[in-house]
Amino acid sequence: MSLSRIMKWVTGGSEAFLGIPLIGGSFILSTSWGALLVMFILHTVTLFIARNEKGNITGSILGMVTSFIGVIPVVGMIMHIITAIVLLIDAATNKH
């Protein structure tokens, strides 16, 4: 399994957790939005790895955008869920 695929599983699972109503939001608030910074960094690392492996970078870019939009309560939750779905599907179907 490629490193980009592993990173997509990790970031997709993390996004899914952050998208859980109340639980994800509470976690983000308890870290003073630090979780969003960590996710931005993880998505950036995943983007570079996927690009170097000639893989799909769409989910990582979407994740970076979601990290910024994540500060908006309901919109952020929806974006976390969408990003999780995109990343997890990409990780499951990526054969690199």
Token pair recorded at residue 90: 């990409």
Q: What is the pLDDT of residue 74?
A: 94
User: In terms of Cα–Cα distance, which of 11, 6, 96 is closest to 53?
Assistant: 96
Q: Do residues 21 and 77 touch, judged by C-beta distance below 8 A?
A: yes
Q: Which domain holds residue 31?
A: 3-93
From first to last of its 96 residues, the chain has per-residue pLDDT tens of 899 999 999 999 999 999 999 999 999 999 999 999 999 999 999 999 999 999 999 999 999 999 999 999 999 999 999 999 999 999 999 765
Domains in the chain: how many in total?
Answer: 1
At 96 the pLDDT is: 58
